Chains A and B, each alone.
Chain A
Amino acid sequence: MSRSCAAPRPRLVLRYEDVRYEEGSMRTRIAYIASNTFREAVRDRVLYNLIAFALLLSGAAILVGQISIEIEKLVVINLGLTAVSLFGIVIAIFIGIGLVSKEIEKRTLYTVLSRPVRRWEFIVGKFFGLAGTLIVNTFFMAIGVFGALFYVSHKFVRADALIFVALYFIVLEFVIICSLTLLFSSFSSPLLSAVFAFSLFVIGSFAEDLRNFAGMAHGFSRWLATGAAYLVPNFSAFNVITSIAHEQPVAGQLILQNTLYALFYATMALSGAVLIFERRDLK
């Protein structure tokens, strides 16, 4: 299609000795899809707005800390980590809801799935891409939090290392949210996916209360509440921000428990997304 008519055309088809196709491994394809998802997120201006907003909030913690006599550090840690968590969740939902549905709507998926890419590889690649984006964001936002903390207390103490545990739990929350947004995105519109994912996040944040309510209820409502309490992700178990701000240590058992729970929940949600997507007609 070159405009220069006189120039000889390069050959379109290479001889088989010219090109030897490698049977691309499943892991390689997933890595390529994940890397492209990461690139898409990184080039999205909205992402930078949200990160800037989160960093601003961490900065604002310094101001609030200065008017909170004696408890500056507590306020900075509380506000800073809450900003990291909340903005991360918003970013996860905002980007995650369109990961599959937008690809179908814009038909970009057609040229991907017409290649030797299996549908489940696409879903898993998208998941890792989004999770990777959020981990990188968390890293930069965490730098903001530590910067604010250093500004307030002029030094780091050993107890500040506990912030890493809180950040790890926040990342685990992101992993769950990523898998859930992908699950919703595999069968519904971006708007509905956002509503579902955000509702689950809010309900999940009160999962302990829901479980307590289930313990007090009777009959059918007890069964219903218990079922709902165990079905929604238990985000309240991941929230250790306040106790860490008070320099209370986190039990190793909780770290292990939360890790296994997040992995199990994300695997289940991703499996659901794959099961739905494997059967879906891309009209």
Chain B
Amino acid sequence: MPAIEILGLEKTYSIGFWRKRPKCALRPLHLTVEDGEIFGFLGPNGAGKTTTLKLLMGLVFPSAGSARILGRDWTDPQVKAQIGFLPEQSYFYDYLTAHELLEYYGQLSGVPAKQRKHRVGQVLDQVGLRDVQGVQLRKFSKGMLQRVGIGQAILHNPKLVFFDEPMSGLDPMGRREVRDLMSQLKREGTTVFFSTHILSDAETLCDRVAVIHKGELRGVGAVEELTSSVQGKVEVIWHATQVPASIKALSVECHVTGDRVRAIIDENQQDAIIDALRRERLRLIAITPVRTSLEAYFVEKLRRAETTAGSAL
């Protein structure tokens, strides 16, 4: 059973005060997220990522379409007991302490009182806020608030969590910790759906990603699938302090760093360079296919979308 099935969700806002005119925020979106995977929802600012998340959370109403979450209709209140949500740049009740806030959200989520106390303490430890649990949130930094936000999203043991730009406001250490936390959630069987425009995070974490631009889905697939093709090149690394003439003769561009030489060659030159290394008695360290980075894929998709839009005009 997929964790999320988005069936043509669409959102058009009316903008303007007197003369209302439609603004399409999300074109019909069809997307499936499998149970237990980390799914990255990528796109530049204003692409429709947050609108999609708000639609799934029931914060805005769709112009058309529907969705199923954890096998149920997404408007079913029971669904909400099993999902966690971290909004983008979230603010929380700043008159509450971190402990009080988590306690409150635990109450609203229906976590029984006895388990709530234990669970709140556990989550405070997890997000590194145990020492400041009695401090009002108005005294928290942006990064600390983001930690509270992550804490409230996982507090009630959800089967599926939605994170909207979870790395926002975090320092490099904090970002790494959030990445670790997401990996841990996945290991424990939780499905993670997160939106981001930081591609390195998506590349490191995600099983699959979708790229959205101007409210339209531009591509979806496993990160490896999206980044494995196109180049047709391999990277060869061997031990040497200089490039022998036999390899120079292959017209290969080489970079010498210390006692290693690195060359990017076409796949069809692979056998020739290996033969040359054998003849020269040089030790081969690695041969790796060169993959397109997720960033290159992303930029290519956006560029193609711009070109299509331009030619349509």
Contact = CB atoms under 8 A, between A and B. Distances in A.
Interface in A1-59: 1-3, 9-14, 18-24, 28-29, 32-33, 36, 39-40, 43-44
B110 A12 contact: no
Given A22-B110, A22-B112, A12 B57 contact: no
- The bracket for how many chain B residues form the interface is 35 or more
Contacts of B125: 2, 10
B132 to A, nearest CB: 12
Contact of A282 (B59, B85, B122): B59
Interface stretch (B185-193, B224-232, B262-270, B289-297): B185-193
B57 A23 contact: no
Interface stretch (B38-46, B174-182, B194-202, B244-252): B174-182
B147 A1 contact: yes
B109 interface: yes
A116 B85 contact: no
B30 interface: no
A253 interface: no
A12 B190 contact: yes
A113 interface: yes
A22 B105 CA distance: 14
Question: Interface on chain A toward B: helix, strand, loop, or mixed SS?
Answer: loop
Contacts of B115: 18-20
Contacts of B92: 108, 111
Contact of A111 (B152, B154, B189): B152
A10 B95 CA distance: 28
Nearest to A21: B110
A34 B177 CA distance: 35
B108 A29 contact: yes
Contacts of A114: 57-59, 80, 83-85, 87, 162
A11 B185 CA distance: 9
A124 B204 CA distance: 45
Nearest to B156: A21
Contacts of B184: 9, 12
B188 A11 contact: yes
Interface string B141-170: 000000101101110110000100000000
Given A12-B185, A115-B105, A110 B112 contact: no
A115 B128 CA distance: 24
B238 interface: no
Interface in B71-125: 77-78, 80-81, 83-87, 89-93, 95-96, 104-105, 107-112, 115, 119, 122, 125
Nearest to A44: B95
Contacts of B89: 107
B108 A117 contact: yes
- The bracket for how many chain A residues form the interface is 35 or more
B61 interface: yes
Contacts of B27: none
A111 B60 contact: no
A244 to B, nearest CB: 37
A23 B80 CA distance: 12
A283 B60 contact: yes
A122 to B, nearest CB: 10
A282 B54 contact: yes
Contact of A110 (B59, B78, B104, B174): B59
Contacts of A283: 13, 60
A176 B125 CA distance: 45
B126 A21 contact: no
Contacts of B222: none
Which of B54, B59, B80, B126 has the most chain A CB within a 10 Å cutoff? B59
Contacts of B57: 110, 113-114
A231 interface: no
Given A10-B125, A13-B157, A111 B105 contact: yes
Interface string B49-72: 000001001111100000000000
Interface in A248-283: 279, 281-283
Interface string B256-300: 000000000000000000000000000000000000000000000
A136 interface: no
A118 interface: yes
Interface of B: 13, 54, 57-61, 77-78, 80-81, 83-87, 89-93, 95-96, 104-105, 107-112, 115, 119, 122, 125-128, 147, 149-150, 152-154, 156-157, 162, 173-174, 177-178, 180-181, 184-185, 188-190
Leading 9 A-B pairs by shortest Cβ distance: A24-B110, A114-B85, A1-B177, A13-B188, A281-B60, A110-B87, A43-B95, A282-B59, A116-B80
27 contacts: A1-B126, A1-B147, A1-B150, A10-B122, A10-B125, A12-B126, A13-B185, A13-B189, A19-B111, A21-B81, A21-B112, A23-B81, A29-B108, A43-B95, A44-B95, A107-B90, A110-B85, A111-B86, A111-B153, A114-B85, A116-B77, A116-B78, A116-B109, A116-B110, A281-B13, A281-B59, A281-B61
